[in-house]
Amino acid sequence: MSDILLEKINSVWCRVKCDPGIQAELSQLFEFEVPGAKFMPSYKSKKWDGKIRLLKPAKDGPKIYAGLYHHIKQYALEKNYSFDSDFDWSTVPPKNFPIKGWYSKGKKIVPHDHQLKAIYKSLQTKRSIFISPTGSGKSLIIYTIVRLLSELVDNKIVILVPTISLVEQLYSDFEDYSNHDGFTENVTKIYSGLEKEKKKIIISTWQSLLNMEKNYFHDIDAIIGDEAHLYKGKEVSKLLEKFINAEYRYGFTGTLDGLEVNELILEGLFGPIVKVATTTELISENKLSDLKILCMTLNYSDEEKKKRFTQFEDEVRFLISHEKRNRFICDLADSTKGNTLILFSRVEAHGKLLYNQLVSNKKKKCYYIDGSTPAEEREIIRQSIDKEKDIIIVASSQVFSTGINIKSLRNIIFAYPSKSRIRTLQSIGRALRLHDEKENAVIYDISDDLVGKRPNYTWNHFLERLKIYVQEDFNYTIKKVELEKLYGKSNY
């Protein structure tokens, strides 16, 4: 027998056969400390040691996610261990598959090179995670792969998305691409409030499938996960483990968070990472809008800087209720040219406050969207915005930072303090799609200088965003804004 042998259990798991010494090496290779574990109750109570172990003990020998096949094979090569397995993920595509035969708005479209790269990779292997920037046309890639899979598999194909809005948007895109042949007759939508009907192709929120019985998943041959960076969590990964017969597994995301353990979990559930393109590459090729980031650092009074916030939440509450800060955001939105999106995080405390202020200003037409806005209404608003000019959308970042496609969007105002790499890049991507009515995309990054003897919490978050802009080679400038000069002395 080989030094390391991988035996297939099902489409999710494989068993690792090796001697105890090599097993100990592999166990250490796939063991990770969880960031921030020491703050978690289970760690504090000593019920958990703060580590994740991807090699799992089992009755017949340890098992591991089958998608980590290539990592184990590479380790064996580096250590000069012999390696074998009883499975592989190569595939044979159907003959004469019409990759260039799709339509949009009634016109024939030809995929770009980066889209073809992902499509051809899916023709070669049954498993991949495709990293393709927001605005790069993921829906066309997914649609093409679904058309391919519908020829290859006998049973169901499931496309998982994180929100109801994305179910409606992706279904709408599928309708557009297949308007000439009625392919969407094979497609059904599943989310809360819709009948859970099974057709060959299912577009569903992952939340809607969480509590389905195990036998529901047995006739599913392929799983596609959009916004796959969100699927590293325990609840979603447990869901993906239920697709035990889904040989074809493809994930799509604009970016990953850079943590090795999270990437390995996603690779285990889907497959190896394939970088399709970068945002700067697509901008340079004129496939995305030119991007400018204007960092507006709001400077507060000496009295306000003397405030010491011992908790992040206290500082956030102070900022989002700050009259002059909110007034500046609304004045900025009213002064922009083209359609503008304001992203907020707190609904009652901030989002509705900004919306009401803008409505009272009576300068531009405004829309408001948060998690309570019905899916049908969100989709109507999304489609109508592309037909309008110079309007403002006040939207929850939880709803609009991921996946929503509005081509005419030119400006985005970050009204909330975030340091998340994924959320920042996903939010920027909302404005990058090409449209005849805009010359470029402009991001207004609002930051708050309350720096006294030490930097304040949200200022540190801004510095983290700056690191992202530098890493991504984005064009950014920093402008200082004196709130008291603009609006007079503060009452604080």
Q: What is the pLDDT of residues 423-436, one digit of tens each?
A: 888 888 878 887 77
pTM confidence score:
0.80
pLDDT of residue 108: 82
What's the whole-number mean pLDDT along residues 28-55? 85
**Under the phi-then-psi rule, with left for phi > 0, alpha for psi from -120 to 50, and beta for the rest, what region is 53?**
beta
Q: Are 481 and 296 in contact (CB under 8 A)?
A: yes
| Between 440 and 15, residue with greater pLDDT | 15
At 101, the pLDDT band (50, 70, 90 cuts) reads: low
At 97, the pLDDT band (50, 70, 90 cuts) reads: low
Phi, psi of 286, deg, nearest 5: 60, 30
| Per-residue pLDDT tens digits for 192-219 | 866 667 789 999 999 999 888 889 999 9
Instruction: Please give the Cα distance from 66 to 407 (Å, whole number).
Output: 38
Question: Closest Cα partner for 167 from 352, 403, 367?
Answer: 403
What's the whole-number mean pLDDT along residues 311-332? 93
3-class DSSP assignment, residue 474: coil
DSSP run (H or E) holding 410? strand 409-414
Query: Of 32-46, 61-75, 116-130, 255-269, which range is least confident?
Result: 32-46
Burial of 258 (0-12, 13-18, 19+ CB in 10 A): exposed
- The domain 286-487 is placed in CATH, from the list 3.30.300.30, 3.40.50.300, 1.10.3720.10, 3.90.1150.10, at 3.40.50.300
Question: Closest Cα partner for 191 from 173, 169, 213?
Answer: 169
Question: Closest Cα partner for 261 from 37, 445, 90, 480?
Answer: 37
| Between 326 and 39, residue with greater pLDDT | 326
Instruction: Please give the Cα distance from 105 to 283 (Å, whole number).
Output: 24
Instruction: Please give the Cα distance from 261 to 30 (Å, whole number).
Output: 8
Would you identify the CATH topology of the domain 102-277?
Rossmann fold (3.40.50)
- Please list the residue range(s) of the chain that carry CATH number 3.40.50.300: 102-277, 286-487
DSSP run (H or E) holding 397? helix 397-400
Instruction: Please give the Cα distance from 133 to 227 (Å, whole number).
Output: 11
Q: Are 135 and 432 in contact (CB under 8 A)?
A: yes
Instruction: Please give the Cα distance from 24 to 270 (Å, whole number).
Output: 25
Question: Closest Cα partner for 50 from 35, 65, 71?
Answer: 35
3-class DSSP assignment, residue 476: strand
Query: Of 95-104, 151-160, 205-214, 380-389, which range is least confident?
Result: 95-104
3-class DSSP assignment, residue 444: strand
Instruction: Please give the Cα distance from 386 to 399 (Å, whole number).
Output: 18
**Residue position matching structure tokens 């605005």:** 135
Question: Closest Cα partner for 101 from 186, 203, 180?
Answer: 180
Q: Tell how far CA 33 is from the center of its chain.
A: 24
**Which CATH number describes the domain made up of 4-85?**
3.30.780.20
Instruction: Please give the Cα distance from 126 to 140 (Å, whole number).
Output: 18
Instruction: Please give the Cα distance from 304 to 302 (Å, whole number).
Output: 5
What's the whole-number mean pLDDT along residues 412-424? 88
| Per-residue pLDDT tens digits for 328-360 | 999 999 999 989 999 998 877 799 999 999 999
Q: What type of residue sits at position 469?
A: Y
pLDDT of residue 166: 87
- Please list the residue range(s) of the chain that carry CATH number 3.30.780.20: 4-85
pLDDT of residue 211: 86
Res. 403: pLDDT tops 60: no
Instruction: Please give the Cα distance from 168 to 181 (Å, whole number).
Output: 20
Q: Which residue(s) pair with 31 in the sheet?
A: 53
